[in-house]
Amino acid sequence: MNPGRISQLVFLVAFICILFIASESYKRTGKFRIRRIPGLDAIDELVGRATEMGRPLAFVFGAGEMEAQTFASLRILGYVCEQVARYDARLHTVTPLPEIYPMCLEIQRSAYVKQGKPQDFNQDFVQYLPADSSKASVLGLFQREKVSGVLLFGNYYYESMVFAEAASLVGAATIAGTANFHQLPFFVAACDYTLIGEELFAAGVYMSREPSEIGALTAQEAAKVAAVTLMLIGAALASFGKDSLVNILKN
């Protein structure tokens, strides 16, 4: 066993156990409550607005590297694609990450197939644009297509402000979500709705109510409670000059 990692292993095992227990419990009882996330509720409005106005939507991924936020955003893309296919709206998907281009393509294709409209799928509506050049292209897309709504999700950096403001200049409604706290203030200031940090990861549960996702969210919440408890106990002990908790966690 590597030194200093026992407490981390205990945490991981506990996390996995809670995930499965909560998942099984939901399968049995079907009971689960999650608070409203206005940003996710607004997706349907955005699609409806796009259909009424006859103007397309744009879903743009952040230019940061592919990681958990990207997966969470792909889940949201899946939902948006289904809604778009259902209501005959149009959606431009732009990814600056070459790795997820095939996934975006398949997600969009399968959404149309699911709605029984495979003929409506157009792969030109999914674009890979390398990080730096994507900025100009996305701005051009917003202007040319006069998009009615813009969804900005994922690992965002400075392009957050550029895209959010450019969307506002063409009168598009904006929903954004990122766990990158350095970009959150920009999204909060410039977008209509913002998913902050873990709300992005909770999107899957919110939209699908899939047991394993509910299990994962429950484990997350339990871990958060544990973290706060440990922090409080640690702070109290440290105030009395005792670092026993720190020593335990260091194991």
Contacts (CB under 8 A) with other proteins, residues 166-185: 166, 168-169, 179-185
* Interface region with other proteins, contact rule CB under 8 A, candidates 24-32, 35-43, 200-208, 236-244: 200-208
- Are the CB atoms for 39 and 207 separated by under 8 Å? no
How far apart are CB 27 and other proteins at their closest, in Å?
13
Contacting other proteins within 65-104 (CB under 8 A): 65, 67-69, 71-72, 74-75, 78, 97-103
Question: Which CB, 50 or 81, lies closer to other proteins?
Answer: 81
Q: From the list 128, 142, 193, 206, which residue makes contact with other proteins (rule: CB under 8 A)?
A: 128
- Going through the chain in order, the beta strands assigned E by DSSP cover 57-61, 91-95, 126-128, 149-153, 173-178, 193-196
Q: From the list 1, 30, 35, 239, which residue makes contact with other proteins (rule: CB under 8 A)?
A: 1
Question: Which CB, 52 or 117, lies closer to other proteins?
Answer: 117
Helix/strand/coil percentages in the chain, nearest 5:
65, 10, 25
Question: Which CB, 197 or 234, lies closer to other proteins?
Answer: 197
Angle between helix 6-29 and 211-239 (nearest 10): 140
Strands 91-95 and 126-128: parallel
Contacting other proteins within 138-167 (CB under 8 A): 144, 155, 157-158, 161-162, 164-166
- Going through 6-118 in order, the beta strands assigned E by DSSP cover 57-61, 91-95
Site membership for other proteins, residue 188 (CB under 8 A): yes
DSSP 65: P
- Are the CB atoms for 48 and 87 separated by under 8 Å? yes
- What's the half-sphere exposure (Cβ side, CA atoms, 13 Å) at 100? 30
Q: From the list 190, 192, 193, 195, which residue makes contact with other proteins (rule: CB under 8 A)?
A: 190
Question: Which CB, 45 or 198, lies closer to other proteins?
Answer: 198
Contacting other proteins within 22-61 (CB under 8 A): none
How far apart are CB 47 and other proteins at their closest, in Å?
19
Instruction: Give, in degrees to the nearest 5, the angle at Cα 19 between 247 and 39.
Output: 105
Q: From the list 45, 120, 220, 245, which residue makes contact with other proteins (rule: CB under 8 A)?
A: 220
